[in-house]
Amino acid sequence: MTDLKILRTSSRLLLALLLLGVPGLFAQYSPEIAALKNAARNFSVPDGGTLFQVSTLDALLQGVYNGSMTVGQLKQQGDFGLGTYEGLDGAMIVVDGHYYHMRANGVLSESGDNEIAPFAAVTRFKSDVQFTVNQASMAQLSTLLDAVLPSKNYFYAIRIRGTFDNMTARAIPMQFLPYPPLATLLPTQSTFNYSSISGTLVDIRSPAFVSGINQVSHHYHFVSDDHTAGGHSLSFTTGPVTVEIQTLRRYSLWLPSDEPFSNATLPYQ
């Protein structure tokens, strides 16, 4: 049986939500979801938080993989987020101020300050609202999140922590000049399948009006609690997890000054 209850704790609203994947489940709990949406609106950080981004998604899709900002510099901008590394070398996962690097050979390590990113989106994470979920697929969780967000016109940093029944993630091997477009590299990606794994999902949700600048809707990267697994998430089913949402109403876009970006044809078709 599905159980749902709402508790208020200081300036947060705690929604204890156990999902069994029943069709139409969210409609059954529209009053509770509306209450959580109001909480996200009313308890947001006063200045709205800032998402700091390096380069654009279209530049990355076109093959602009030259690193333009170091991890050390990124740490000054945020302690939570995602991205990739020079040469499209795997996935960046940023949690609690630690920058992790998941490579296509399956090795995850903590990044040195001198590693360089061609694309990243980071923020200083401070959640506005939290709730718990169990047994939700990627599609179900994304639908639930979209139902409770106060508006789809803002950016959101979303942290999902707990146990995952299954997780499929990817990392693309490091590329060398001349860089090919990202779409041509998908057949070469390494895919990792994990089961009964504890960790953190980083989700940066971007509004539709930044299409081509950042990935519209949800973008998930994962790192395990033991720091041995991770990557760009392709699919998952949660076990019991805690979801924390931060509304971001400020957006800072840093554009590279190098020749590859300057000469790129944007937007990318």
Percent of the chain with pLDDT over 90: 77
What is the model's pLDDT at position 178? Answer: 95
How far apart are alpha carbons 128 and 160 in whole angstroms? 14
Give per-residue pLDDT as tens, 213-244.
Answer: 999 999 999 999 999 999 999 999 999 999 99
Task: Classify domain 50-262 by CATH number.
Answer: 3.30.1330.80
48 φψ region: left (φ > 0), alpha (ψ -120 to 50), beta (else): left
What is the model's pLDDT at position 4? Answer: 35
How far apart are alpha carbons 99 and 82 in whole angstroms? 9
Query: Is pTM, for the whole model, over 0.85?
Result: yes
Mean pLDDT of the chain: 87
Give per-residue pLDDT as tens, 165-221.
Answer: 999 999 999 999 999 999 999 999 999 999 999 999 999 999 999 999 999 999 999
